[in-house]
Structure 1
Amino acid sequence: MSRQPTIKDVASKAEVSFKTVSRVLNGEPHVRKEVRERVLAAAAALDYRPNIAARGLIGGRSRLIGFLYDNPNYSYVTEAEIGALLRCREAGYHLAVEPVDSRGDVPRQIEQIISSLRLDGVILTPPISDDPGALAVLDRLGVAHVRIAPEAGRDKGPCVFIDDEAAAFALTRHLIGLGHSTIGFVQGHPDHGASHLRQAGFERAMAQAGLTTRPAHMVQGYFTFESGMSAGRALLDAPDRPTAVFAANDKMALGVMAAARELGLSAPEQISIAGFDDTRAAQISSPQLTTVRQPVDIMCQAAADMLITLAANEALDDPALQLPFEIRARGSTAAPAAEPQSV
């Protein structure tokens, strides 16, 4: 076929109406599996490529979802983006990835993005997912949105999250179970809601075990490798250094690990180190990092699926979707030595 195949060509080859082809390609429900497979096979055989712009004009939908982020942890952002992208591609949608500077005028930035892109909805990642101005402007503009890991207001709109407080509690309990009683904590970025929840879980586990959380063992971080390294130096280059350090994300935990090496300390023999997220870097570090597995990709797949469902004017089964976490115990943690060895 020398010309570009049309939807009518696909319908003819699949022996269905062009309206049925449209329903299949739009990912609409209530199409028999056998018919759906026949249509998709015909489209593949003809190398049919639907015109996204034309489909938006006809159906009133742009088939374009926005992904808004402002997060110094690019491993997290990449995993989140890939999760959303794969689900969009499956459903015939496109993903527009847009940075938002949370230190600036967030509502104005979002309004500019919405005015330049005809979006069916947006996925909001932390810390934008907790920004009142962001939520207000999206509500005013009537743009559907799903929040990833919001700290509060989970009953006020669609969101996907894990229980950050329970996850941090479980990881701290793991360290305590190994025999650690002096545990340092590197706090997450103060503008991220998850930071407060993870710290609360850490403190609850320590209190429940009858252990003291020393102020000198609580160091501010900002979800960056550099802040983790700085925190690691402060915690480990001290006479009363802890036997274990729990950082509120993997990137900071790897910074603590680098600081330990700089100070001549080996993990886990002289210091146990744990993080949060289970990024790719945590899996390939040496030693591999003990951490909390947060299924960021699946969370964003679910968020994209929610927006696609809403764009089809269908109700969500669970608008506040909580996904499970896992503790991944690896080589960076072990029982403490009898006494902290001097640097």
Structure 2
Amino acid sequence: MTRKPATRHATITDVADAAGVSIKTVSRVFNDEPNVRPLTRDRVVKAALDLDYHPNVAARSLAGRRSFLIGLAYENPSPNYVVDLQTGALERLKGERYRLLVLPFADVGAASGKMQAIARASGLDGIVLAPPLCDDAATVAELEACGLPYARIAPTTDGSHAPDVAMDDRAATQAVIDHLVGLGHRRIGIVRGDPSHASATARLEGYRAGLKAHGLTADPVLEAQGAYTFASGYAAGKALLALADRPTAIFASNDDMAAGVLNAAYEAGVSVPGALSVVGFDDSNIASVVWPRLTTVHQPIREMAHDATGALLALIEHQEAPPHQTMPFQLVVRGSTGPARA
């Protein structure tokens, strides 16, 4: 069997020859160094594109004492949420010289007050903090003190000078309650999120405020604890549906838990949306693949990660970054909600 010869990759020497310049000039172009004439820079870039040349990021890092690495730190048990986070960050880095290092943590305590050491060990140029680390006071204080560039996704607390991209979780949850009350529901339950996440508190507050706005009293019996996982949503759904006076609607604080509630309703023989309406939060992929498809709050997670990563790049490159961006939410009504039963 004849082995196909390996394809030879273009080198910096090839680019220099094609552009009619020195290797040092090519290096200066790709390291964004000054004092390179625009026409020369354009000629080098065109030669690189024609040859499909890609500079060695590791070598450039050593030469410039920079890693060109940014971290994405998060602790979230929902795989759907995490995929959107990573996709948004990677989309922003496309075509940039920076690469993404994913830093997942089992719990906030594993990273709290240790982010500087983690960043130094990884050689990071900056870091994006996703929930719940974006609200961890020790982590924020540490990064403020050490001066490492960072940005936050969906924070609900102040005390930071870093740029952030957020959404109003309270208002979004109140919109959910408005929708359910408009369908005639008066006994509305909630599956609360992981208590270590500030978003869980914000959504609980929005739930209670929404009930109050319609003259309804929050009933602690209808507030089941979850953990942002399918299994916790399933367990909470079973508990709520086992009540003698069970709810006619359940709001789950994320889509994974809402899918768990749907499963619990199916096992209990409770039709959705005939006898029970179910609403989630995030509008992640799972909301569109379960049946009935979930009514949910569209949280632009991918866009938030994209813009937070862009703000971090601006900080690293000593450019101006918007201090705060608020993304709009949207209530997406699908087949899991309907009029309250008589």
* TM-score exceeds 0.5: yes
Q: Which amino acid aligns with 1:169?
A: Q
Asked if 1:177 corresponds to 2:182, the answer is yes
Distance in 1 of aligned mates of 2:301 and 2:41: 30
Q: Which amino acid aligns with 2:60?
A: R
Superposed, which structure 2 residues align to 1:171-250 within 5 Å?
171-250=176-255
Aligned residues: 335
Cα distance, 1:244 vs structure 2? 0.5
Deviation readout 1:264-312 (Å, 9 max, x if unpaired): 1111011000000011011111100000011111111111111111111
Q: Which one of the candidate residues 121, 124, 129 is aligned to 2:126?
A: 121
Distance in 1 of aligned mates of 2:243 and 2:287: 26
Cα distance, 1:54 vs structure 2? 2.5
Greater shift in the superposed pair: 92-101 or 38-47? 38-47
Distance in 2 of aligned mates of 1:35 and 1:287: 59
Distance in 1 of aligned mates of 2:262 and 2:170: 24
Asked if 1:72 corresponds to 2:84, the answer is no
Given the superposition, is the C-alpha separation of residues 241 and 206 from structure 1 closer, same or farther in structure 2, using an over 3 Å criterion? Answer: same
Aligned to 2:326: 322
2:192 and 2:252 in contact (8 A); partners too: yes
1:154 and 1:320 in contact (8 A); partners too: no
TM-score norm. by structure 2 comes to 0.88
1:124 and 1:148 in contact (8 A); partners too: yes
Cα distance, 1:51 vs structure 2? 1.2
Deviation readout 1:27-53 (Å, 9 max, x if unpaired): 89xx9x999987655323212121112
Q: Which amino acid aligns with 1:175?
A: L
Distance in 2 of aligned mates of 1:205 and 1:49: 54
1:27 and 1:92 in contact (8 A); partners too: no
Distance in 2 of aligned mates of 1:40 and 1:326: 42
Aligned to 1:331: 335
Q: Which amino acid aligns with 2:184?
A: G
Where structure 1 has 5 or more consecutive residues not aligned to the other structure, the ranges are 339-343
Cα distance, 1:260 vs structure 2? 0.5
Tell me the secondary structure at the aligned position of residue 276 of structure 1.
Answer: strand
Aligned to 1:133: 138
State the identity %: 44
Greater shift in the superposed pair: 83-92 or 259-268? 83-92
Distance in 2 of aligned mates of 1:293 and 1:252: 15
Superposed, which structure 2 residues align to 1:31-50 within 5 Å?
41-50=46-55
Asked if 1:63 corresponds to 2:68, the answer is yes
Distance in 1 of aligned mates of 2:182 and 2:25: 59
Greater shift in the superposed pair: 205-214 or 271-280? 205-214
Aligned to 1:297: 302
Q: Which amino acid aligns with 1:180?
A: H
Q: Which amino acid aligns with 1:275?
A: G
* Root-mean-square deviation (Å): 2.9
